[in-house]
Amino acid sequence: MKKLIIVVFIISIIFLVSCVNLDDYVEVEDYNHLQKSFNETIDDYSKLKEDNNNLKNEIYDLERRINLTKEENIKYNNLICNLNEYLSYVYPMKVSNDNYFSDGMGFTIEYGDKFYLITAGHGVHYVFEDYDVLYTNFKVKIDNKWIYLKLLDYKNDYMNKSDYAILTSIKIDSGFDVDLDNDRPLFLIGGNRLISDYSSKTVEGESGLPIIDIDGEVTEIATTDSYYYNTDIDIVLQTIDDLN
């Protein structure tokens, strides 16, 4: 019986082999060529996929930049539309003592639900070589009326970027918002004008003017003929916090 099974098995194998159509086989050389073409196609697909992803990233970045530009244009338009309001927060000042008087510029801010007039410290205490003048009287004209101001604190150390004076009056009821983030670009505002992309030297008579960002918020005080020495508004705000 066992021999019979073996004989049947051998016959079955011979029969199956005889039924195989060798024409259905691919030669090794052709197979290798097809495999190579397939691998190259996979590589091309991977590169195209990578290029597509890079293109998507570029499109995303471009759309982001376009949206930022649109937002910035809106802010520029708002800045121009609100220019008259911002200029109304900037005031020519008169300062004096028993022997001297001088002109200056200042601006008002709102901080902590209170209003303050800010100017350059050397407009309060001017020191140059043998010239040392401390002014004690301060006034600005609001609605065609002279308003006298109380001096709260000042420093006139412009070399260390600490040149400011803080004054107050109950008759001040409006002012700039302050910038706590130091955003850019910056603009020097005052004298019925707006100097865009502020990075130039302050000319004589512009000390004490506000430097604002694109949102119309004060970020610095113009203090000297070099913008490198301007006083950051954060120093003023810290002083106000200490006073309170």
Query: Are both 106 and 184 inside the same structural domain?
Result: yes
How far is residue 116's CA from residue 64's CA, in Å, rounded to a whole number? 39
Read off the pLDDT of residues 186-244 as tens digits, 9 standing for 90 and up.
788 876 556 665 555 555 567 889 989 888 899 989 886 666 678 999 999 999 999 98
Residue 2 is assigned to a structural domain of this protein: no
Its pTM surpasses 0.85 = no
- What is the residue type of 15? F
Peptide bond into 185 cis (omega under 30): yes
Residue whose token pair is 């609100």? 82
Same domain, 221 and 126: yes
Q: Measure the CA–CA gap between 205 and 40, rounded to whole angstroms.
A: 73
Shared domain for 73 and 140, answered yes or no, is no
Range of the domain at 219: 85-243
Per-residue model confidence as pLDDT tens digits over 64-113: 888 888 888 888 888 888 888 998 999 999 999 988 889 888 999 999 89
E strands in 135-243 = 137-142, 145-148, 150-157, 162-168, 186-190, 193-195, 210-213, 218-221, 231-232
Question: Do 168 and 115 contact (CB within 8 A), yes or no?
Answer: yes
115 and 173 belong to one structural domain: yes
